[in-house]
Amino acid sequence: MSPHPGEIWLADLGLAAKTRPVVIVSRYDREAPRALVLYVPLTSQNRASRYEVELHQLHFLKSESVANVQGLGSLPVTRLERKLGQVPDDALRKIPSSAQICLRSGIRSQVGSFCLWGKL
């Protein structure tokens, strides 16, 4: 199993024996030291916050959804059950910006603020 960025998978997040759709946000790396992926969970509860990216209605999901970037997490690849589809490119490009808002911490180092997608 080789999940790639932007793919939506049904994943076992260990919550009440329930699976949830997630979008893979970690880069593909054949030689990663651990079999983990970074994901953002999807939800139909749109709170119109800057921590969400609207996905609208995707044909393989039951209802309109948003990527809840505030729920960023990691999980073993073995917890991914099946691929559902792909996030539209325009929505995928918005996820890093929303994640930067979540990750800004005010911590400074000699090279500047840290962020998953580069300097702030």
Q: Mean pLDDT in the chain?
A: 82
**CATH, residue 103:** 2.30.30.110
pTM above 0.95, yes or no: no
Contact between 33 and 55 (Cβ < 8 Å): no
Tell whether 120 is covered by a domain.
no
The structural domain count of the chain equals 1
Cα separations (Å) of 22 from 1, 46, 120?
15, 15, 26
The CA-based dihedral angle spanning residues 30, 32, 34, 39, taken in that order and rounded to the nearest 10 degrees? -80
Contact between 87 and 98 (Cβ < 8 Å): no
Tell whether 24 is covered by a domain.
yes
Identify the domain containing residue 65 by its residue range.
Answer: 7-113
Q: Quick check: 110 pLDDT over 60?
A: no
How high is the pLDDT of residue 107?
53
